[in-house]
Structure 1
């Protein structure tokens, strides 16, 4: 199978999984929602954002491989409202009434982190029955962060807006309660800490939904609602008006003139081999995502397993680090350290294109200082203060994941291609290590090693690690912000770089450049 055929097969599988998220709770519940005269979550987003503007959906595969529906009953992403890039979340009420499960919580918290880090106004489209009660032990205590994050966003001068279309009950009532601007839909929005049955049990008081927490009551009596919308379309209109009145402006760098790549994005389907043990030249990727297909390579004759250099994407300058032959040696580690420091000197965001099997092992490499040189690179990544973006194109194994700015190193955004794989090491290597350890233990006890059991163990471990290293599994656990078509890489990075520059650049580090 050619590289293109293999990638197209993976993309077809990706389309099938993404369709599960867009299907919501399925035809039955979608139809019931429509019969109530309500818009679907993605329809609300489409009407909220500017016409013909892009919406970068984040974590669409959240909860993949779990007991919960793909997408985790909430849609999150970056969209442009009245010319302002905003972080938007929308509950999907066709999935268990929009109830929040553990993956909903993780996805929502990730969205709030992105809004705070990148200074994006945060718009909540609310319609949720609250927590998924059978999993409350995993939601209740960490879920308090949702409300803490709303207050921290506001304290940082980042506007928070809640458009309430239906239920927002129990703890969910604090979403509008802690937002700067609140819109409620007449006769539809219901916001209360305890519904009529709970009030009856707790106090003996008789009440109904409208008097207890209806939109009109909150607009006229409690004051929780700042605006009373006639219907959903009116609520979205008011939401757009609120964003327009913010007089929002970006505090980061302005993009330069944009030049489209000379080389076609469609070629990206041909570059990554199905067998990730075969290396590929990342320059072929770089020249298809950068402005004018231009790339000024840094230190091209030194540390050839890592390509570094300068380019622009949608007018934004970037420094790029891309793995060429997978393994990181001492030279590559020192080269990366110097390059990261240079980028910090010029306040240039960094883009990491991952295809790494990790740092080199072996007696000679240990004696030559691979540990201290790898640690130097990881130190530079950890303490770099410019924005980082990461794309996992192929392998992402071992400490190479760390040195190339994996999830634990807080890149502003991290996306994967369908060809990506990530684990502590390759499946065969991990199974082989376990086999060697087991064999040594048997010999130490004077026992005969069971070769048949060893073969079965190796097969089981390899299958398990292979399954757990695949992009859908990793994306389902929010170890990235989404699996993307390689041909969309430039567009996705352009949206992210624009969003990053809503915030001012952080203060530079206190050291000059250390040469290797």
Structure 2
């Protein structure tokens, strides 16, 4: 297979400027991750440890295989909102007894692990990943249920979490609940709807209503242990399958359950790229209006830097071809010059059909300003050709992985398999942005519309007001299109360090399941 040759100059001014800009974004990302990993703050973390209890990430570390990776999903959920960064729950994929598992761990140091709107979205995303990739799901439970002041945003959509647990079981995908402390109200249904349940002795408290509410509702006076303790559920209600002596014992029992599934897989390995991953910091342009060659990225991500390009001389604003990551075959679609023309759309549709015929997963590297506009391109059929590409993406049956490495604007986001098109996994680089269009373009469009409206009414257009409007719109769009803002709202599965891209994609490719390989495309307008 052809080997990509790099033309990158790591001493050049453009590379150094790009690297400096990327490092600034990585500093912002590190700050957000520190907030998420700090839980409810030092006071509540200390109190939790003083009770002899482990933090959620400590529980995960003991659950997964020693020295195995843990791919955290949506780590900065709720960033930029009124809710705690991380959304009071840790979600991700780890290897347990050689088996990839989706893990959901409540953080009781954040409002008792109460569920807010963002933690609900985050756990539902974890369930989707488990279902699509047929991965066992392990819930590490310690939550007081819904954050009651936010019940209007949680109660009705929250029922889907229980529905999804039962559907996993019905699909033959195992589910495990390990209860470390309170599992109240809706939280009680997590063990109630799981295949395997493990309760920690004298710690687990599982009931629909706690003693105060029982007293108010029925007049009965009852203590926690009698109402919902581990011993009661193991001996009387039958809800507990196993009683653990402490948290570590509970995690040992959970590992034993997974061992009995007999689903262990071997990790994929492949020859390293010829070029250093550290170079990835300086490849994306600090100014997103300046294009860069994605082949420089592929040379630092693909096995042996080998890439068999498909139709290299046709539709050159989109690079397509075949390679491998950690031994897993992959088809790549990567933007090279931002804008997509008819030729690129047709090339993409053909390539996607070929990947489906071969059962090869697809990787989309987004850096696009959208489909080309103007009378020449409208007359040339850009709408039907763009629709052709979107149709192919929407109805492709092989797994899709998406990484936004630059810009992802307009319908180009759809054609390059944005979140709405449900790629199995979608990650973002810290420099990336996504919006209906760039800030300057959006503000300019609004200015033109306002100016035309004033002229139609015979009014004099206020230029000073126009400048103020444009500044405010550009600032707002700039903020709301940034990687951390969008990741905080779960529009991706996480913002990643570019140097980790090969590792993250390798893990994802080891997880995905292709299923049926018979494409069922809609009608193409040719």
TM-score when normalising by structure 2: 0.95
Displacement of 1:350 after TM fit?
0.2
Partner of 1:168: 183
| Aligned counterpart in structure 2 of residue 506 of structure 1, from 497, 513, 516 | 516
Displacement of 1:509 after TM fit?
1.5
**CA deviation string 1:239-270 (max 9, x = no partner):** 000000111256xxx88761111111111011
Alignment of 1:110-509 (within 5 A): 110-248=125-263, 258-500=270-512, 503-509=513-519
Partner Cα separation in structure 1 for residue 277 and residue 81 of structure 2? 34
Structure 1 pair 25/256, CA: closer, same or farther in 2 (3 Å)?
Answer: closer
Structure 1 pair 255/321, CA: closer, same or farther in 2 (3 Å)?
Answer: farther
User: Contact 1:350–1:387 at 8 Å: present in 2 too?
Assistant: yes
User: Contact 2:340–2:412 at 8 Å: present in 1 too?
Assistant: yes
Partner of 1:20: 35
Partner Cα separation in structure 1 for residue 28 and residue 521 of structure 2? 47
User: Contact 2:356–2:517 at 8 Å: present in 1 too?
Assistant: no
Displacement of 1:12 after TM fit?
1.2
Partner Cα separation in structure 1 for residue 523 and residue 352 of structure 2? 9
Displacement of 1:16 after TM fit?
0.8
Partner of 1:56: 71
Equivalent position SS for 2:250:
helix
**CA deviation string 1:349-371 (max 9, x = no partner):** 00000000000000101011100
Partner of 2:94: 79
Displacement of 1:13 after TM fit?
1.3
Equivalent position SS for 1:399:
helix
Partner Cα separation in structure 2 for residue 504 and residue 210 of structure 1? 46
Partner Cα separation in structure 2 for residue 372 and residue 16 of structure 1? 44
Partner Cα separation in structure 1 for residue 106 and residue 341 of structure 2? 46
Displacement of 1:326 after TM fit?
0.2
Partner Cα separation in structure 2 for residue 388 and residue 128 of structure 1? 34
**CA deviation string 1:214-238 (max 9, x = no partner):** 0111011111000000000000000
Equivalent position SS for 2:20:
helix
User: Contact 1:342–1:513 at 8 Å: present in 2 too?
Assistant: no
Partner Cα separation in structure 1 for residue 382 and residue 522 of structure 2? 23
Partner Cα separation in structure 1 for residue 514 and residue 402 of structure 2? 20
User: Contact 1:338–1:514 at 8 Å: present in 2 too?
Assistant: no
Partner Cα separation in structure 1 for residue 264 and residue 25 of structure 2? 40
Structure 1 pair 514/445, CA: closer, same or farther in 2 (3 Å)?
Answer: closer
Structure 1 pair 169/470, CA: closer, same or farther in 2 (3 Å)?
Answer: same
* Unmatched tracts of structure 2, length 5 or more: 1-15
Partner Cα separation in structure 1 for residue 108 and residue 220 of structure 2? 29
Partner Cα separation in structure 2 for residue 489 and residue 511 of structure 1? 31
User: Contact 2:321–2:333 at 8 Å: present in 1 too?
Assistant: yes
Partner Cα separation in structure 1 for residue 458 and residue 268 of structure 2? 70
User: Contact 1:259–1:292 at 8 Å: present in 2 too?
Assistant: yes
Comparing 75-84 and 3-12, the one that deviates more? 3-12
Partner Cα separation in structure 1 for residue 202 and residue 525 of structure 2? 66
User: Contact 1:255–1:315 at 8 Å: present in 2 too?
Assistant: no
Partner of 1:44: 59
Displacement of 1:506 after TM fit?
2.5
**CA deviation string 1:149-208 (max 9, x = no partner):** 000000000000000000000111000000000000000000000000111111111101
**CA deviation string 1:435-462 (max 9, x = no partner):** 0000000011111011111110000000
Partner of 1:101: 116
Partner of 2:4: none
Partner Cα separation in structure 2 for residue 264 and residue 332 of structure 1? 30
**CA deviation string 1:289-347 (max 9, x = no partner):** 00011000000000010000000001110000000000000000000000000000101
User: Contact 1:122–1:161 at 8 Å: present in 2 too?
Assistant: yes
Partner Cα separation in structure 1 for residue 444 and residue 231 of structure 2? 66
Partner Cα separation in structure 1 for residue 189 and residue 236 of structure 2? 18
RMSD of aligned Cα (Å)? 1.5
Structure 1 pair 295/514, CA: closer, same or farther in 2 (3 Å)?
Answer: farther
TM-score when normalising by structure 1: 0.97
Partner Cα separation in structure 2 for residue 183 and residue 489 of structure 1? 36
May I ask how many residue pairs the two structures share in their alignment? 511
Displacement of 1:378 after TM fit?
0.3
Equivalent position SS for 2:322:
strand
User: Contact 2:136–2:175 at 8 Å: present in 1 too?
Assistant: yes
Displacement of 1:78 after TM fit?
0.3
Displacement of 1:512 after TM fit?
12
